[in-house]
Amino acid sequence: MYVWCIHHLILEAPHGAFFVNALESFADGMSRLITELQTLLGGLVEDLGYRLWALQLLGEGGSKTLRLFIDQPDFSGDIGLEDCEQVSREVAALLDVNDPIPGHYTLEVSSPGVDRPLFDPEHYRLCLAQDVNIRTFSKQEGRHRHHGRLLAADADGISLQRDDDVQVTLPYAEIRSAKLAPDYARLLAGQAE
């Protein structure tokens, strides 16, 4: 599930409670829509022989983007242009029939790539013992950016052994963005062989 975060909201007007309630209502509506889209599209993507790694609904009003990251069932990352085109055609047809997204939007289907983004606890568990880059909302152990080896992931957050030998525990609510940090030199050397 994806959470829309609004930080540092200061309300001094007497009608501020209405504004906060409207924001909470918007966030709840987005959360429900994303859950509905994951349910609707996850089954279709699986039926096509792929796995839905992640789904994002970005933007608002008339400039929304629905982005799907697809992968092989074994998480091998071996996704080509033809795979994305097939999934895109089928997803577009299903969305045309069900019409769950109000207004106009752009559909994007891609591989998560070797530096795949991590969004939920399952992603972190699948990537244990790998190097990650993480940005946090507030400073954790003196910094916003963390690079290191992913040691553990549970329902509340992750543990990371940073490159400077500091071990940090980061709650999911503090993670602004996270993605794998592959060793590109090793990957390129493997392709040259």
- Tens digit of each residue's pLDDT (9 = 90 or more) over 6-54: 222 223 333 343 333 443 444 565 678 888 999 999 999 999 999 999 9
pLDDT digits (tens, 9 = 90+) for 149-178: 999 999 999 999 999 999 999 999 999 999
Q: Where are the alpha helices (DSSP H) in the chain?
A: 16-47, 81-98, 121-126, 184-192
User: In this structure, are residues 126 and 168 in contact, taking their beta carbons and an 8 Å threshold?
Assistant: no
User: In this structure, are residues 162 and 170 in contact, taking their beta carbons and an 8 Å threshold?
Assistant: no
Dist. CA 177–CA 167, nearest whole Å: 19
Q: How far is CA 13 from the centre of its chain?
A: 35
Average pLDDT over residues 94-115: 91
Tell which CATH architecture fits domain 121-192: Roll (2.30)
pLDDT digits (tens, 9 = 90+) for 126-155: 999 999 999 999 999 999 999 999 999 999
Over pLDDT 90: what percentage of the chain?
A: 63
> In sequence order, which residues have a C-beta less than 8 Å from that of residue 1 and are 6 or more positions away?
31, 34, 35, 38, 120
pTM of the predicted structure, to 2 decimals: 0.74
Q: Which helix (H) or strand (E) holds 110?
A: strand 105-110
Q: What CATH number does the domain located at 16-110 have? A: 3.30.300.20
Domain boundaries, the chain: 16-110, 121-192
What's the pLDDT score for residue 128? 95
Strand partners, 168: 160
Q: Do domains 16-110 and 121-192 have the same CATH topology?
A: no
Q: What is the chain's mean pLDDT, rounded?
A: 83
What's the pLDDT score for residue 18? 38
DSSP, residue by residue, 126-150? HTTTSEEEEEEEEEETTEEEEEEEE
- Token pair of 105 as six digits: 């939007």
Dist. CA 152–CA 158, nearest whole Å: 5
